[in-house]
Amino acid sequence: MSDSNNNLHSTQQTYIPEPRIERSGPLLIAGLCQPLDSEAFTRIPQLWQDFTSQWNQLAQRVGEVNYGLCMRADAGAIHYLAGCTLWDFDNLPAALSRFVIPLQDYAVFHHEGHVSTIRHTIDAIFDRWLPQARFQLATQQSLHFFERYGEAFDPVTGEGDIEIWVPVLEKT
């Protein structure tokens, strides 16, 4: 397949600079979770809106950073969790899912542009960067990757401080 056909979502390749490698975790994340399917790209924004409406109920929230986790579930299904960091899981509303991001090495990629184009960056990471990298995906855990929406992310404009964190191990 030619380079011009590698990314079906765009007419041009997404540029991926070399990531930084960072050891991070564990992080306690709580939020709303749903399975990913063909309608995921239209449902994920609504999931975030539903989650942000519950922020005031989270007295144990830490900081202003938010996370979008893509996790492997049973039978190969992928689930998406829109969440935030907490200092503990005590007394959470029953509707919120809990997940611990493990202590791990991560390849950290900066996403340029609007959040709606994040799929291009993710595709480029997994389709182009990872196969050629000196790293491999850490598959011993259920976490596939996560999006980190930093303090400078503006949910109104959909831009600013967006990173993709991919759990990695050095190839042997």
Q: Which of 117, 103, 170 is nearest to 147 (CA)?
A: 117
Work out the number of other CB atoms within 10 angstroms of the CB of residue 151: 10
Give, in words, the CATH class of 14-170: alpha beta
From the DSSP assignment, how many helices (H) and strands (E) are in the chain? 3, 9
Identify the band that residue 12 occupies on the pLDDT scale cut at 50, 70 and 90: low
Identify the band that residue 56 occupies on the pLDDT scale cut at 50, 70 and 90: confident
What is the mean predicted confidence (pLDDT) over 99-118?
A: 95
Strands (E), 56-103: 61-72, 78-86, 97-101
Mean pLDDT comparison of 5-19, 22-36, 53-67, highest-scoring range:
22-36
Domains of the chain: which residue ranges?
14-170
User: pTM score, two decimals?
Assistant: 0.89
Lowest mean pLDDT among 76-80, 113-117, 118-122, 131-135: 76-80
Task: Please spell the DSSP secondary structure of 90-125, one letter per residue.
Answer: TT--TT-EEEEEPSEEEEEEEEPS-GGGHHHHHHHI
Work out the number of other CB atoms within 10 angstroms of the CB of residue 144: 19
Identify the band that residue 6 occupies on the pLDDT scale cut at 50, 70 and 90: very low
Identify the band that residue 3 occupies on the pLDDT scale cut at 50, 70 and 90: very low
Using alpha carbons, list the distances in angstroms from residue 58 to 34, 53, 92, 114, 167: 20, 11, 7, 28, 27
Q: Which residue has the higher pLDDT, 157 or 15?
A: 157
CB 50 within 8 A of CB 60: no
Q: Which of 72, 75, 78, 65 is nearest to 31 (CA)?
A: 65
